[in-house]
Amino acid sequence: MKLAIASLLFGSSAAFSPALSGNKFTSSTQLSARKPFISGNWKLNPQTKDEAIALAGAIAGAVNEESPDADVALFVPYVFIESVMEKVGDWINIGAEGVCPEMAGAYTGAISAPMLKSVGVQWALAGHSERRVIYGETDDYINSQCLKLIEQGMSVMLCIGESLAEFEQDLAGSVCAVQLKKGLKGIAKEDLDKVAIAYEPVWAIGTGKVATPEIAQSVHATCRAIIADMYDQEAADAMRILYGGSVTPESVDDLMSQPDIDGALVGGASLDAEKFGRIINFKTKVAA
């Protein structure tokens, strides 16, 4: 591996496809034009340093010369970052699950971009739905996280996605448009190589529910069209857009075979080395 690092549970895709049936956007590029990016988000797991080191080592063992030519990253709790980095070496990029946009000062419990950079972190998450919902992080706050990371020469994975109610009301595209436009505000085209987008329908995170590949592809194509409108087609074609939301070994191949799905942000399955190893070693399918 050259490292730089299902049907929908509710039934057939027809059950939810009307919300996106008007989408006319199509991809002008294929996954082969963008390097795949497989990432895991450990969230508040595991519970000890020893467990984190063991899990990271087992995941790194799944990456080999036969693996797809993809970037692989793990977003882990702050306290495990250096230990996990030491364990995986150059095989996997270790990122942070968040960042405070402030540089220094009276912000108890906060971790700044320079702090992360000083221990070797290159990537951090911003905008995950759990941060939006549980901790009240706003689009403006998330934008400030993105800007601060890029200012420090680091990279950000901007997470976006709609709730089930919004999806059923045909608002997936509108929600993603707002979150993209606000999250990327002030970021110049020349800095977009430091950005990846993770589309995570909120109703699929940690629930075992996963959108059909066709539904996920439709929203990804919409997101790419929004980026083209914000910047230009070149920027849109270069942007890596990952799918997140209960990605599993059983669903990853179909998802990664879609032209606008460039990778995965994996939650629960990234805590199982065997499952996440299979996701890292995804197999794209050739259309008949």
Helix (H) or strand (E) holding 53: helix 49-60
Q: Concatenated DSSP letters for 192-258?
A: GGGEEEEE--GGGTTTS----HHHHHHHHHHHHHHHHHHS-HHHHHH--EEEESS--TTTHHHHHTS
Find the catalytic residue in 97, 137, 200, 220. Answer: 200
Provide the angle, in degrees to the nearest 10, between the axes of the packed helices 172-183 and 139-151: 40
Q: Name the catalytic one among 128, 130, 162, 166.
A: 128
> 287: alpha, beta or left, given left = phi > 0 and alpha = psi -120 to 50?
beta
Question: Is 200 considered catalytic here?
Answer: yes
* Active site (annotated) includes residue 220: no
DSSP state string for 112-137: BHHHHHHTT--EEEE--HHHHHHS--
Burial class of residue 237 in the structure, from the number of CB atoms within 10 Å of its CB (0-12 exposed, 13-18 middle, 19+ buried): middle
- Strands 155-160, 241-244: pairing is unpaired
Element containing residue 265 per DSSP (H, E) = strand 263-266
Q: Give the residue carrying structure tokens 């000083």.
A: 118
Three-class secondary structure of residue 280 per DSSP: helix
- Residue 56 CB-density burial (10 A; 0-12 exposed, 13-18 middle, 19+ buried): buried
Q: Which residues are catalytically annotated?
A: 128, 200
